[in-house]
Amino acid sequence: MNFLITGGAGFIGSALVRFLIKNTDHNVLNIDSLTYAGNLQNLTEVSDSDRLRFLQEDICNFNSIKKSFNEFKPDIVMHLAAESHVDKSIDGPNKFITTNIIGTSILLECAREYWSKLDNTEKKKFIFHHISTDEVYGSLERDGLFTEDTKYDPSSPYSASKASSDHLVRAWNRTFGLPIIITNCSNNYGPYQFPEKLIPLSVLNAIEGNTIPVFGNGSQIRDWLYVDDHVEALYKVVTEGVIGETYNIGGNNEKTNLEVVKTICTILDRKISIKPNMIKSFSELITFVDDRPGHDQRYAIDATKILKNLKWSSTHNFEKGIEKTVNWIIANIDYYDNSLNDRKRQGRLI
């Protein structure tokens, strides 16, 4: 089968492309505009595959995307291309509206035009899989979990733009009959994550002896999902899921941001004997900073549906996943030093 992946040079997208090339016999077209967080070095280990093609393009370019559909003839579209950093959406929301809303609408129209011309057999094979976030649901109190029926209540320009794209995908299904599936995932972490996010930023800052910024008092809770578990779930959904359905994908690993940072420091204390700036523990670098405007307090996914219907659950608990992630970052410092060139790490968090 032919898989068209948008955003396949980003963090989650590249993990998905690596999974498809390593574990299946599918052909893959990776479309990515290579903005600051997109990096072809994420795909080095599969770049020699004759089943992988790459197109550097913006999903807002209707003519180019339409041409890609007609030439590659995808059976499956998995749409991950998005602006995804909450703080950047606060600083400049227009880019998020353009990519996440307008870009998704253009991709949907290209998919609809292509799909409408297929014969009945090919139409039945075609799926448009939209990959979204649990942030569309807003913030939880101390109790409760996000389910597929939770009312949308986005707080940031980023989550509002993703909520809008979710609604567009459902509208193309209900109005035009385009076969779609939507997934909403919790916070991903793992190798190759761009160092604007909490975990890689904290590890790299600690190693360099810089402060480790934590918003507010660090009490915000997130459900952490190891990226390789996520992409296995995505493949499970797109190959076995029901058209028109939404599936929530979570790791069942709720941690406060402060717990995450302290765990990182404990791992680094164990692994690095000679510490920077004559500190005794990396935890001395933790620094509390002003909280983000409109910061959601808690996210937590109820993944019962995907477990019950598709027999998927995450295999990495947080302790296992964070250990693997920290080890990878330590072993791949050159990735951050060299492959990111002069793109400076951001001092803001998830």
CA distance 32 to 318: 30
Q: Which neighbouring-strand residues pair with 56?
A: 32
CA-wise closest residue to 166 among 124, 144, 188, 137: 137
- Residue 134 is a catalytic residue: yes
- Tokens (6 digits) for 203: 């590890």
Active-site annotation holder among 134, 166, 228, 296: 134
Q: What percent of the chain is helix, strand and coil (3-state, nearest 5)?
A: 45, 15, 35
CA distance 81 to 304: 27
Active-site annotation holder among 137, 158, 189, 192: 158
- Residue 135 is a catalytic residue: yes
Exposure string of 61-87, with b = 16+ CB inside 10 Å and e = fewer, is beeebbebbeebebbbbbbbbbbbbbb
Active-site annotation holder among 32, 87, 135, 302: 135
Residues in the chain: 350
CA distance 4 to 164: 22
CA distance 218 to 214: 6
Is the alpha carbon torsion for 343, 345, 348, 350 positive or negative? positive
Q: Among all residues, which ones are annotated catalytic?
A: 134-135, 158
